[in-house]
Structure 1
Amino acid sequence: MQYIDSFLSYLKYEKRSSRHTLIAYEADLRQFGQYMEDMGIDDERGIKTRFIRDWVVTLHYNNLKPRSIHRKVASLRAYFKYLLREEIMSSSPVEGVVLPKIPKNLPDFVKEKEMDFLLDHVLFSDDYTGIRDRTIIDLFYGTGMRLSELVALRDSDFDLKSGLVKVLGKRNKERLVPVNRSTIHSVNEYISVRNKTFGAEKFPAFFLTDKGKAVYHKLVYRIVNKHLKSVTTLAKKSPHILRHTYATILLNRGADINAIKELLGHANLNATQIYTHNTFEQLSSIYNQAHPRA
């Protein structure tokens, strides 16, 4: 397909999409473009709805999960919407494509007592690495920020006197998130040991590797995965699980769902409402245990 590069430029410079979004869109569109070329079609105006339906069926028979199929078709939908905007096409072939249903899986989360045990009783080493790792986990749990948001943090994003951290979210949208006293203590301790270890006035990022470079996504994932293994048997032990944990615990303790939406940086309330199901699950469990006729 011949307009992919211009579409990606539009996403990058006009929509200000993140690097990961650009990578995902490009991979999906290149894959579909190759599928069309194999059918002898190299012009977008020759793409019909039935071709996209056939592609969806092919993805399904190749055991791709429904959620992944939805994402790929969403990439196509955005691409053809762009072509309509540019008046390259007069209609979108994506409309009318039926997609497989996505099973509703409740988001996993770490129990509150398990997080308390991890942060209060699990022994982290008292060197730079141990203090950094504990602060990373504490900050995820205390703010609910995304992995990409934590990696992008700079010293100037923190206002510890006011108990706030500025987070740069999706589409470069900034939000201020409160930081609790315990997490502030962890952050201050980390800053102190980091400055003593590397002694630089300016750092490439807030969190650094053992060699003084900016941390990267895989390293932070490994740090979280390693330490969550000591307190939970959940299959997934990722930074995003700590985001789920943050939101679920806030709801369970009575926080307003609209406030949680703002804290998480969600664009709409639908993305936040998945956490209410966990709350209802917990309430149902308490009812079943406590009520004599349950």
Structure 2
Amino acid sequence: MPTASPNKTHSNAKNTRIDVSLLPSKLQQQVESYLDATWMEKGLSENSLSSYRRDLFSFCAWLHHEKGRDDLLGVNAEWIQRHLAWRLEQGLSARSTARFMSCLRGFYNLQQRENRLAENPAALIENPKLPKGLPKSLSEEDVDHLLAAPDVEDAVGLRDRAMLELLYACGLRVSELVGLSESQVNLRQGVIRVFGKGSKERLVPMGDAAIHWLQQYLSKGRGALLKGPSDVMFPSNRGQQMTRQTFWHRIKHWAKVAGIEKPLSPHTVRHAFATHLLNNGADLRVVQLLLGHSDLSTTQIYTHIAKERMKTLHEKHHPRA
């Protein structure tokens, strides 16, 4: 299982550092034992585990400081409610608190299954209401400008063009894109094998444009970036696997070159992939499979974007709109 950083510190809501080593050992053991069990059961990504660890240690620090407690099993619903009030005072988002509550319920559910606890103190506490904002997206024209922005005369530009084409053609998460290996790509069949959240595998078609730029990059660019034998598909300038943060900066750079002023991130391109598919008649369940969503309800938010698009077209073209 992925482990915490060696210094065992985590940021809390006040942007200070929680020194985990100062927490009672029992609290530390309870958190790490739960994370081990969750990783084994659900195969969560390292990013998800880090978020869970941060949330639980923040709760442990609050519990130890405010209540003098060294055991998560002695917590009651009132204390959880007070901690939620504290999170609100610290300005933490509703989405962050909803994730914390999901994690906490999971912890106490495990304690019940292991017969360490009779009742789950978090079971009846409602999640904060999340805003129903629509994902930000790009127009098809914006995407064309973004994809054409890199200078493909050098290896870095060619790499970035191939990455952008693949990101849009396949609707990948940024972690799936930067973590892609050469062995996951099948140019002959025109598909890539993607390992998503929880290591769930899916096959995604690339399309002719992405295949073309990937072939160009493999023949003219990748070799110049690699510093030795490697299966990494998109190495950084140092010849190593690119980080998510590095690609985030690259896409920001090319958005600026393309003259796109709206906020842009790799996830925005993933949203554009889904939105444009639906706008052009794709079935919602097909989009769900391509995105790697385990639940159709997660994909349904894109239908709202498609409806907004239809409404705009109706108002523009219908004589009595």
TM-score, length of structure 1 as denominator length:
0.94
Cα distance in 2 between the residues matched to 1:231 and 1:80: 50
> Cα distance, 1:103 vs. partner?
1.1
Structure 1 counterpart of 2:262, one-letter code:
L
Distance 1:125 1:26 in 2: 42
Give the SS at the match of 2:300.
Answer: helix
**1:192-207 equivalences in 2 (<5 Å):** 192-197=219-224, 202-207=229-234
Specify the alignment match of 1:54 in structure 2: 82
One-letter identity of the residue aligned with 2:116: I
User: Among the aligned pairs, what percent are the same residue?
Assistant: 33
- In the alignment, is residue 131 of structure 1 matched against residue 158 of structure 2? yes
Q: Counterpart in 2 of 1:102?
A: 130
2:167, 2:269 within 8 Å by CA — same for their partners in 1? yes
- Measure, in 1, the Cα distance between the counterparts of 2:160 and 2:224: 15
User: Which sections of structure 2, spanning at least 5 residues, go unmatched?
Assistant: 1-26
Amino acid across the alignment from 1:178:
P
Q: After TM superposition, give the deviation of residue 22 of structure 1 in Å.
A: 0.8
- Which of 234, 237, 246 aligns to 1:210? It is 237
Match of 1:42 among 54, 62, 70: 70
Runs of 4+ in structure 1 deviating by more than 3 angstroms, as ranges, are 198-202
1:164 aligned onto 2:195: no
| Alignment partner, residue 88 of structure 1 | 116
Question: Residues 150 and 158 of structure 2 are in contact (CA less than 8 Å); yes or no, is this contact kept in structure 1?
Answer: no
CA distance in 1, matches of 2:89, 2:222: 54
The structure 2 residue matched to 1:75, chosen from 103, 106, 122, is 103
Deviation at 1:123, TM superposition (A): 4.8
Q: Which residue identity lines up with residue 118 of structure 2 in the other structure?
A: S
Q: How many Å apart are 1:195 and its aligned residue?
A: 4.6
Query: Would you say 1:270 and 2:285 are equivalent positions?
Result: no
- Is the 2:225–2:236 contact (alpha carbons within 8 Å) kept by the matching residues of 1? no
Q: Give secondary structure in 2 for the equivalent of 1:108.
A: coil
**Aligned partner of 1:64 among 82, 92, 97:** 92
1:17 aligns with 2:30: no
Q: Which amino acid aligns with 2:166?
A: L
The SS at the match of 1:14 is helix
Partner SS state of residue 202, structure 2:
strand
Q: Is the contact between residue 169 and residue 210 of structure 2 (CA under 8 Å) also seen in structure 1?
A: yes
Letter in 2 for 1:280: K
Contact 1:248 1:279 in 2 (8 A): yes
Which residue of structure 2 lines up, in the alignment, with residue 234 of structure 1?
Answer: 262
Which has the larger displacement, 195-204 or 70-79? Answer: 195-204
1:7 maps onto 2:34 in alignment: yes
Question: 2:146 maps to which residue?
Answer: 118
| Alpha-carbon distance between aligned partners in 2 of 1:200 and 1:227, rounded to the nearest angstrom | 25
Q: Equivalents in 1 of 2:245, 2:229: separation in Å?
A: 24
Check whether the contact 2:195–2:201 (CA below 8 A) recurs between aligned residues.
Answer: yes
Q: 2:146, 2:42 → 1: CA distance?
A: 40
Please report how far the alpha carbon of residue 44 of structure 1 lies from its aligned counterpart in structure 2 after TM superposition.
2.0
* Partners of 1:170 and 1:201 in 2: CA distance: 29
Of the structure 1 ranges 268-277 and 9-18, higher mean CA displacement relative to structure 2 is found in: 9-18
How many angstroms apart in 1 are the aligned matches of 2:305 and 2:210? 25
Partner of residue 252, structure 2: 225
Q: What secondary structure sits across from 2:221 in the alignment?
A: helix
* Higher mean displacement: 240-249 or 90-99: 90-99
- SS of residue in 1 equivalent to 2:115: coil
Contact 1:115 1:231 in 2 (8 A): no
Q: Secondary structure at the match of 2:42?
A: coil
> CA-atom RMSD, angstroms?
1.6
Q: Which has the higher contact order (CA 8 A, sep 6+)?
A: 1
Sort the Cα spacing of 1:218 and 1:195 in 2 relative to 1 into closer, same or farther, 3 A. Answer: closer
- In the alignment, the residues of structure 1 paired with residue 318 and residue 186 of structure 2 have an alpha-carbon distance, to the nearest angstrom, of 47
Against the structure 1 CA distance between its residues 231 and 177, is the aligned structure 2 distance closer, same or farther, given a 3 Å change threshold?
farther
Matched with 1:254 is: 281
Q: Distance in 2 between matches of 1:103 and 1:198?
A: 43
Report if aligned partners of 1:8, 1:26 keep a CA contact under 8 Å in 2. yes
* TM-score, scaled relative to structure 2: 0.87
CA distance in 2 between counterparts of 1:146 and 1:283 reads 27
AA aligned to 1:19 is E
Deviations 1:168-217 (A, max 9, x none): 11111110000111100111111112354157773151110112111111
